[in-house]
Amino acid sequence: MSKLSELIEKINLEMTTNPSIEKNLNYELSKIIATCNINAMNSDESYCFKFNVPSVQVGKLPNLLNVTVKEIYDAFTSDWGSIAMTNRMYADSYYQTMLLIVLYGITYNKPNISEMALLIIMFKLWNGRKTKYLPWCDKAVMKYVINSMCTRRHHITKHDDPFSLLKNYFVPTILAKYSNVAKTDQTRKKLQTLFSQSWSRLDQLFVSRKVEDIESGKRFAQGGILPLYKKAKEEGLSIADISKKGIEDDELQFGDQISSSTREDIISDVAEYITMHPNQKYAQNFISQLNTETHVSSKVLEQLLKGIHNYQFYDLIHDILSIILSSTNVNTKEDICKQKFNDDFKRKVISSKNNEDAKKIQLLCNKLLKDIFNRSFKSNLDNYSGVHQIQLKKVLLNGIFYNLKKYICKQV
């Protein structure tokens, strides 16, 4: 049994023996959330709002549960590994305490507890993303972005403030997707996935479709509220300008061009599917077809395809998928399952050479191939000819395409 499982069993036994512990836990969590809600409602900062993170209150919860911070840390270290604890977020006692309570709630079917605990996690995650991307946030500019530049389909247009967005959208959707797997996973690694996806999905709200400028080598976002905010700021736009613009609901807006929550959900889900499944199997006819098309040996093919299934490649896989879907103009799951997408992939991704998307995807594939060759083949990609590298890139892209179709269409 995992150490986290032992710890929540201990907590459950304490609560069964003394029901007042669970009552007090509910009270403390509710009090934290009520305070944050009142602060959000009383603020006019819109999405510039920053939560007063309840670190002191959270720090008292282990004592309420009759466990120590060290017990919690040791349990996470045992289950997730000491290397994971070098990640500052994973090792943070605030997150560990609340994740333990999330795990308790989903394991013992107490959804109210898991929802409140995850929401308290999201408060701190929000602050971190907001501080990183918008440390100096002009509320008048942000209100213009929300009201005038984001499409009506965007989640932030449906919620008055970050509190509502986190509570009514992020928390329920994350728990709906990850609760069952986190509950049944005996190693408690899926709890780590739940946490990392909470961070990742919130991060994508601010920046998405991150690509690398070939000339400068710097990464920048094409989607999310950060580029929208920057555009509004550069053009001197604010909430006072909305009445002058007169945008209709069915008019094509800037947000339509650079941000699609459906597309982002697909990219995030597939990138996670690829990088979190190290034992993925490929159909033999797919391997044979790739061997025929690229003349890369089946042994190298299989080793290379296996190499992409590594959580450390999440960002690279995410960016490659982003360019694939952008260049083929895919916005929904239905688009991926049409023959047109297969044809566009071959024409616009595999065969394309002289446009910006092709250059970006070439750069990303080279980085990924170099890492895979260093790790899996103990070899330097630069030792291979340019022609061979092009064929290896085709293998890589077809492998990502295969997993995309397999996950979305279930037909490969």
Answer whether residue 354 shows pLDDT above 90: no
Average pLDDT, the chain: 85
- Helix (H) or strand (E) segment spanning residue 149: none
On whether the CB atoms of residues 79 and 4 are closer than 8 A, the answer is yes
Q: Tell whether the model's pLDDT for residue 195 goes beyond 50.
A: yes
State the sign of the Cα–Cα–Cα–Cα dihedral 367, 369, 370, 372: positive
Ranking 213-222, 262-271, 342-351, 371-380 by mean pLDDT, the lowest is: 213-222
For the stretch 57-93, pLDDT in tens is: 999 999 999 999 999 999 999 999 888 888 889 999 9
User: pLDDT for 387-411, tens place per residue?
Assistant: 888 899 999 999 999 999 998 887 4
Q: 251: Cβ–Cβ under 8 A, 6 or more apart, which residues?
A: none
Question: For residue 119, what pLDDT is reported?
Answer: 97
Q: In sequence order, which residues have a C-beta less than 8 Å from that of residue 346 and are 6 or more positions away?
A: none
In the Cβ-directed half-sphere of 43, how many Cα atoms lie within 13 Å?
20
H or E element, residue 222? strand 219-223
Residue 16's pLDDT band (cuts 50, 70, 90):
very high
**Taking a C-beta distance cutoff of 8 angstroms, is the pair 161, 85 a contact?**
no
Q: What is the DSSP letter of 252?
A: -
Rounded Cα distance between 386 and 216, Å, is 23
pLDDT at 158: 84
- pTM score > 0.75 for this model? no
280 CB neighbour count, 10 Å cutoff: 16
396 vs 133, 226, 349, 381, 392, CA distance in Å? Answer: 32, 31, 12, 13, 6
Min mean pLDDT across 108-112, 266-270, 405-409 is at: 266-270
Distances (CA, A) of 144 to 71, 150, 154, 232, 268: 47, 9, 14, 8, 28
